[in-house]
Structure 1
Amino acid sequence: MGSRSPRPARPIRSGRYPAKELCSQCGLCDTRYVAHVKEACAFLDQQLTQLEEQTHGRSRESLRSGSLAVTDTDYFGVYEAMYTARKRDPIPGAQWTGIVSSIGMKALTTGLVEGVVCVQADERDRFQPRPILARTPEAVWAARVNKPTLSPNLSVLEQVEQSGLKRLLVIGVGCQIQALRAVEKKLGLEKLYVLGTPCVDNVSRAGLQKFLETTSRSPQTVVHYEFMQDFHIHFKHEDGSVEKVPFFGLKTKELKDVFAPSCLSCFDYVNALADLVVGYMGSPLGWQWLLVRNQRGQELLDLVWEELETQPVISQGSRRAAVQQGIPAYDQALTLPMWLAQIMGAVIERFGPRGLEYARFSIDSHFTRNYLYVRRHYPHKLEQHVPPFARRIVEQYQLPQD
């Protein structure tokens, strides 16, 4: 990336993008499928429950037995199996061990699919996403590593249609996949597989630059980063070094405006409409968290199963006090001195929530924040936009009364 300035993000024009400032730039409106945007867009018509039924044959709501208690299905969505895994032989240059890239490549080499929708990086800027329809394993391999910016993955749907292929794998995040599921039957495919990643707090390219410059010691050399289970942000640099910054030392007041309004209004952290989800937040450091949601997801996982090392999923500690204390801290944009943030990070890493309890902590923290954001900025959307499972999660906590 060097010293070149980032490319400007695509402007949100209210005429072309009906969600206006809430547009997540998923790419649907850049295709002829824009005709279906009012039903497909997660920020115009939240329909997770209906789409769960369509995709999995059941939904979080249909699985409830009448109890008012919050369940793991509320948190993690419909799933058939859950694993902690990592590749025995990691892919060089992968963000973690390369499970997502391996599945994409194997899906092509085995003939399971004829194309893979994934995201490479712009040649001039490693953080600028460039969605592609990959037809070779090499093209999928070139797409490894997350691009933590808004990405128009669905902009390639017309290429899919023009190519004539009938079996497709799409790799994407929640807002993209909700739109995809809403138009799935109009794509003319014989088989669609969806490999999802959990997603939260994306930014525009300019917002990413502000985050890097505000947080990292060397923003120009960052290769990738992630908010990790040890309550630190891990920045990997070009020289291979890893810089760790504690969550509690973030300059919250300066960074509250960098996250996209769509991400601050999202309640699909765990990508509920994917067939298989590969993330990290429900597993120990260095491992990946896999959620198989249906038979298609199992088919995808089977492609690489023999290449994986697995261990049982764990859940330790308690998140509730940390989440409750974090609500006013974020609201008031509190930032601790770095020395104290380092101590707090070390203590919570040792005694705080781990495994699935860390995943619940992260979901609780983001859902309470996002609920408040929607209530304050889009009160007319609150009733329809917040799914029932998110309400049940948020109701566990005391929120400030505006």
Structure 2
Amino acid sequence: MTSAPRSPAPHERARPLAKGSTYPAKDLCSQCGLCDSRWVAYVRRACAFLNQRFEAMETAAHGRSRDLANEDELYFGVSQRMVTARLRPAIEGAQWSGIVSRIGVRALETGLVDAVLCVQQSPDDRFTPLPVLARTPEQVLAARVNKPTLSPNLEVLEQLPGSGIRRLLAIGVGCQVQALRAVQDTLPLEQLYVLGLPCVDNVSRAGLQTFLESASDSPATVVHYEFMQDFRIHFRHSDGREETVPFFGLDTPKLKNVFAPSCLSCFDYVNGGADLVVGYMGASFGRQWLTVRNPRGQELLDLVETELDLAPVSSRGDRRAAVQQGIDAYDKAIKLPRWLAELVGFIVQRVGPQGLEYGRFSIDSHFTRNALWVRRHHPEKAEDHIPGFAKAIVARYRLPSL
């Protein structure tokens, strides 16, 4: 007796949406790349902007969802371990010390994975992302330094069938990781590791140009930049020069609407679905913040732990008054004169929140802003779209009227 033929899975029948067509999330699309692969068939359940599913994602990835009664987990997600670190020696040309790149390299060198999903840059433009499935350490190192623009990382899933890749390390930001987790069980993989980056306020390439021209004294020579724990934006230029600008000196009226709607409606700053998260937001200046969420995350950290200068996390200061003042200033699009912005930055840098408290400051500031944005621009989505942990945080503050 012969068995009935197997029905093809949705992704085996589907094909990517045509580039330039209207994606299902429309104006909220983060261009994560899922719709540019055959896994577009799962977009209705996978897209972070169509179907918010934090608790289910965390439970599937980590065995449980975050404990909302635990202040650290309320803010930073499920965690087994939190530390701060620097890679010794640092990787030449890395944005900071190069921990993310080193983990990718070691994952390949040890045979833990067959490939690393990472983002190189276009040959024509430093800030145009080029997602790749890196098979060699050299290809991973070519992806070092952040690309602060929307990036279609998941389009390379289209390359997995027939590639021989059975074990994959995916490096990505929250919206990409949420979509990846939703389709994980349908991928032709034996094992998936996810190294997450904290992410907030990405822009289109045109939006990035507006930001650079508004904030830097030499936008054409900027190699990379980051909003850092000293309340200043650090720009590195092609000649090696470092330029810093106080947060409070930005041209808020010009930049208020430059960020992507997907980022203005995102509540996954800390990348809650990743196995291991590496960023800066919960560390003192000059160090990176690492959060291990599950045993796979510890496996990734084990690859490089002997090469790291490790220290415990710390916390100092009180963010709450600064957050409330920032809510009102942002909503009114207040722009400070440069001398006053420098003065405010000088004071806040010395007496303001540091370490984990700086992380909470940044989360509070963005969650309150984003909750207000969603309620004003997509009121029909607000109740289901804003996750419970974000609602609990936002409720601590007084928001402007809708």
| Counterpart mapping for 1:78-89 below 5 A | 78-89=78-89
Please give the secondary structure, in 2, of the residue aligned with 1:300.
helix
CA shift in 2, pair 1:101/1:234, >3 Å: same
- 1:53 maps to a residue whose letter is T
Aligned equivalents of 2:352, 2:149: Cα separation in 1: 29
Question: What per-residue deviation string (whole Å, max 9, x for no partner) do you get for residues 322-370 of structure 1?
Answer: 0001111000100100001001001000000000000000000000000
Contact in 2 for aligned 1:170/1:194 (Cα 8 Å): yes
Which structure would you say has the larger RCO, counting Cα contacts within 8 Å and 6 or more residues apart?
1
Question: What per-residue deviation string (whole Å, max 9, x for no partner) do you get for residues 235-263 of structure 1?
Answer: 00111111000011100000112100000
1:287 aligned partner = 287
Contact in 2 for aligned 1:277/1:290 (Cα 8 Å): yes
Please give the secondary structure, in 2, of the residue aligned with 1:211.
helix
1:56 aligned partner = 62
Question: What per-residue deviation string (whole Å, max 9, x for no partner) do you get for residues 183-206 of structure 1?
Answer: 000002111000000000000000
1:153 aligned partner = 153
Q: CA deviation at 1:140?
A: 0.1
| Counterpart mapping for 1:98-117 below 5 A | 98-117=98-117
1:366 aligned partner = 366
Instruction: Tell me the TM-score normalised to structure 1 length.
Output: 0.95
1:211 aligned partner = 211
Aligned equivalents of 2:324, 2:51: Cα separation in 1: 30
Aligned equivalents of 1:221, 1:30: Cα separation in 2: 32
Please give the secondary structure, in 1, of the residue aligned with 2:225.
strand
Aligned equivalents of 2:400, 2:139: Cα separation in 1: 48
1:325 aligned partner = 325
| Counterpart mapping for 1:200-349 below 5 A | 200-349=200-349
Aligned equivalents of 2:267, 2:182: Cα separation in 1: 17
Please give the secondary structure, in 2, of the residue aligned with 1:270.
coil
Aligned equivalents of 1:192, 1:161: Cα separation in 2: 15
Contact in 1 for aligned 2:19/2:36 (Cα 8 Å): no
Aligned equivalents of 1:166, 1:158: Cα separation in 2: 14
Aligned equivalents of 2:72, 2:20: Cα separation in 1: 36
Q: CA deviation at 1:400?
A: 1.1
Q: CA deviation at 1:310?
A: 1.1
1:28 aligned partner = 34
For structure 2, which runs of at least 5 residues remain unmatched after alignment? 1-17
1:71 aligned partner = 71
- 1:267 maps to a residue whose letter is F
Aligned equivalents of 1:112, 1:137: Cα separation in 2: 13
- 2:103 maps to a residue whose letter is I
Q: CA deviation at 1:312?
A: 1.7
Question: What per-residue deviation string (whole Å, max 9, x for no partner) do you get for residues 39-78 of structure 1?
Answer: 0000000001111000000002xx34xx5xx721110000
Superposed CA RMSD: 1.0
1:40 to 30, 43, 46: 46
1:184 aligned partner = 184
1:13 equivalent in alignment to 2:27: no
- 1:41 maps to a residue whose letter is C
Question: What per-residue deviation string (whole Å, max 9, x for no partner) do you get for residues 287-332 of structure 1?
Answer: 0000000000000000000100011211000000000011110001
Q: CA deviation at 1:161?
A: 2.3
Please give the secondary structure, in 1, of the residue aligned with 2:290.
strand
1:355 equivalent in alignment to 2:378: no
Question: What per-residue deviation string (whole Å, max 9, x for no partner) do you get for residues 5-31 of structure 1?
Answer: xxxxx97632xx100010000000001
Q: CA deviation at 1:228?
A: 0.5
Q: CA deviation at 1:127?
A: 0.3
1:129 aligned partner = 129
Would you identify which runs of 4 or more consecutive aligned residues in structure 1 move more than 3 Å? 10-13
Q: What is the percent sequence identity of the aligned residues?
A: 67
1:164 equivalent in alignment to 2:180: no
Question: What per-residue deviation string (whole Å, max 9, x for no partner) do you get for residues 202-243 of structure 1?
Answer: 000000000000110000000000000010000001111110
Please give the secondary structure, in 2, of the residue aligned with 1:379.
coil
Aligned equivalents of 2:87, 2:372: Cα separation in 1: 39
- 1:390 maps to a residue whose letter is A
Contact in 2 for aligned 1:13/1:20 (Cα 8 Å): no
Q: CA deviation at 1:160?
A: 1.8
Aligned equivalents of 2:161, 2:75: Cα separation in 1: 35
- 1:13 maps to a residue whose letter is S
Aligned equivalents of 1:125, 1:55: Cα separation in 2: 35
Aligned equivalents of 2:153, 2:19: Cα separation in 1: 16
- 2:367 maps to a residue whose letter is F
Aligned equivalents of 2:195, 2:152: Cα separation in 1: 16
For structure 1, which runs of at least 5 residues remain unmatched after alignment? 1-9
Q: CA deviation at 1:401?
A: 1.7
